[in-house]
Amino acid sequence: MKRMDNIHAPTVPAGPSSRPLTNGNAKHLSFAELQSKKENLEAELKALGGVLDSHGVNMETPLTTPDGFPRADIDVAQIRTTRSRIIHLKNDYKDLMNIIEKHLHEHFLSIQEADDVGPTSTSNPAIFGDSIPATLEESFAKVNSIVPGSPAESAGLKPGDEIRNFGYVNKSNHDGLKKVAECVQGNEGQRILVKISRRTESSQRQELQLNLTPRRNWGGRGLLGCHILPL
């Protein structure tokens, strides 16, 4: 059996790579088309993960014996090809999510600009009123605490507020609030549209849209100065 020193280096995957996502073509697709591409990538990644599972390996499993020879108990060539395809698709998925994030951010900005033309509250200019479409996303997080003087307080967030949307993040994709952290880090210094539901003194629900701008050097820790918990 021939010893292979570079067995863990991915092979060139069979079939065309979907790397054209990075050449800008996807930027001109509609949101529905972008979402369809996202779902297709997720489905293929899941299928490829199943291929690795069928061999009893993952992306880190050694493919050589302790003395450096290819393992005879697994299909090393297929595993290497599958791993390489997964790496390509994960890069494509990351590129696609960046495009989707920018698409949604621009969409939210256009909504905010339209709202700016209409009447707004003079007591809190960060709140764009409670005239929100009847179809609302289900809340996925709750504001636990706010630090005085923080970006969160400046935006108008209050403890007890329930978050329906945080930029492009909602109940279906927040991934244990990990996507909220990604959205914050990826939009430092930029406005993020946050849709919240707030209980008033009369126990009614008030639906609000707030502008939240993550920033450093506000005098406290983090980019927001608030603590939120998943619901």
Res. 114 pLDDT band, cuts 50 70 90: low
CATH fold, domain 141-230, is Pdz3 Domain (2.30.42)
Secondary-structure breakdown of the chain: helix, strand, coil percentages, each rounded to the nearest 5: 40, 15, 45
Identify the pLDDT of residue 116.
52
Pairing of strands 141-146, 226-230: antiparallel
Cα of 218 vs its chain's centroid, Å: 25
Spatial distance between the Cα atoms of 75 and 151, rounded to a whole number of angstroms: 54
- Measured over the CA atoms of residue 188, residue 90, residue 52 and residue 63, the dihedral's sign is negative
- Model pLDDT for residues 55-103, shown as the tens digit of each residue: 899 999 999 888 889 889 989 999 999 999 999 999 988 888 888 887 7
- Model pLDDT for residues 151-208, shown as the tens digit of each residue: 999 999 999 999 999 988 888 888 888 888 888 888 888 888 999 999 887 778 888 8
Is residue 143 over pLDDT 90?
A: yes
Short-list 88, 96, 93, 104, CA closest to 183: 104
Is residue 125 over pLDDT 90?
A: no
Is residue 119 over pLDDT 60?
A: no
Is 133 within 8 Å of 211 (Cβ atoms)? no
- Write the CB contacts of 223 (distance below 8 Å, at least 6 apart in sequence): 151, 184, 185, 188, 214, 215, 216
- DSSP secondary structure code for residue 65 in this structure: -
- Model pLDDT for residues 25-64, shown as the tens digit of each residue: 566 777 778 888 888 888 888 888 888 988 899 999 999 8
